[in-house]
Structure 1
């Protein structure tokens, strides 16, 4: 796989969504406000969830994954898609920023040498400061714990695995330090559609970049011919 092929495939790809299936779409008025103005509608694409863009406004589900899928499962899929898209956007930006020629490492100093492809950076950090991964695991766990408390139902009564609360909108974990979330339902839907499209693109892009670096062990801009390969594997504390 070459980076040119990966980028071309990424730009031409359209993320899959799901066609609506029959389900109970009645939601109380009190819940509607909690769902950011979205009211599940079984007659619309993906129960009316944002995320569809031309030319697939009426649904894109070539594998029929949504056949017989209830609303609760659709919400779980959207929750997973939003969260994975956010992680992928961070990953895609992080890989490009921390590699040659930019090489910005906010957590440690590496200005005096090229430390190689991003897929091995955590290995290098772990070799020098093994407690860092413990701290990172705790940090990620605390974020996921907050998401679970906010969006997931308690395991009691008639409970299904990864069951979301009725008044939880997929992806809305309550983190908005810059107060960017629109109060208008239509504006919110537009913003989430943009987030979903960027997240879908980032998932494809990050996967392509990781695959490329696994193939030949070279950094992204080096593969593109935009940076000089000055990485010396013997200068880092792990085996390449």
Structure 2
């Protein structure tokens, strides 16, 4: 969880880094997954808006006049954070009371406590696992960088995306779920973004709640018994 949070924070900072202005209105015009950048539309016409905000929700005008390269960077960061948040929100719920499904713990023997401390427990028992986890996350990010990010050569901007790269499309679809029809693809990505935005708020809320009272989510809601004994785990709560 700590690594995921750090990665999200770093990604957020990177997303708002300056982008080269020279690639705005004259940038990519070829359709990417059915999307053709249109400067006259909100966020250059990228999907993700739902009624009653079909024209986009941006009360502070942060996206007004933003170059295409920067919009793509922001969307790349938003999609990446959405996916991490959806995994985090689901992971927190299934590893705590009353479900307590966790492949790294003998959860059937005892309540293993709030999810925000699970990696601390793993680190106390097997610190090499965190090194393995770091390498695994780094490998995934390395593949994303090779797929979507431009090579640092010529006129290059920090975290600049390839012109022929659609934000979030890392070409990983082992189940073949990606629609071939552009309209269906836009609908699917809108659903992913909406669920991801909710998950980012939800995961942040659950983490904050557990930091405040040190109790599991369903325990705080009164839907599960509090069986957690801090003395039963190898870390100090």
TM-score by length of 1: 0.87
Cα distance in structure 1, aligned partners of 2:154 and 2:91: 42
Cα distance in structure 1, aligned partners of 2:119 and 2:216: 15
Partner residue, 1:92: 89
- 1:54 pairs with 2:55: no
- 1:111 pairs with 2:108: yes
8 A Cα contact 2:27 2:163, kept in partner: no
- Corresponding residue SS for 1:170: coil
- Corresponding residue SS for 1:69: coil
Cα distance in structure 2, aligned partners of 1:26 and 1:153: 14
Partner residue, 2:79: 82
Cα distance in structure 1, aligned partners of 2:166 and 2:178: 13
8 A Cα contact 1:100 1:222, kept in partner: yes
8 A Cα contact 1:95 1:118, kept in partner: yes
8 A Cα contact 1:25 1:40, kept in partner: no
Dislocated runs of 4+, deviation >6 Å: none
Aligned pairs (5 A) from 1:144-223: 144-223=141-220
Cα distance in structure 2, aligned partners of 1:140 and 1:213: 25
- 1:143 pairs with 2:144: no
8 A Cα contact 1:52 1:59, kept in partner: yes
Partner residue, 1:24: 25
User: Structure 1 residue 26: deviation in Å?
Assistant: 5.9
User: Structure 1 residue 27: deviation in Å?
Assistant: 3.6
Residues 56-112 of structure 1 show CA distances to partners (whole Å, capped at 9, x for unaligned) of: 111211122113310100000000000000000000000000001100002332210
User: Structure 1 residue 25: deviation in Å?
Assistant: 5.5
Cα distance in structure 1, aligned partners of 2:36 and 2:26: 8
Name the stretch that deviates more: 138-147 or 67-76: 67-76
**5+ residue gaps in structure 1?**
1-21
Cα distance in structure 2, aligned partners of 1:48 and 1:190: 13
Q: Which of 66, 74, 82 pairs up with 2:63?
A: 66
8 A Cα contact 2:113 2:230, kept in partner: yes
Cα distance in structure 2, aligned partners of 1:219 and 1:153: 42
- 1:238 pairs with 2:235: yes
TM-score by length of 2: 0.88
User: Structure 1 residue 46: deviation in Å?
Assistant: 1.1
**5+ residue gaps in structure 2?**
1-22
Count matched residues. 215
8 A Cα contact 2:27 2:68, kept in partner: no
- Corresponding residue SS for 2:134: helix
Residues 15-54 of structure 1 show CA distances to partners (whole Å, capped at 9, x for unaligned) of: xxxxxxx9416645xx42xx10100011112111000001
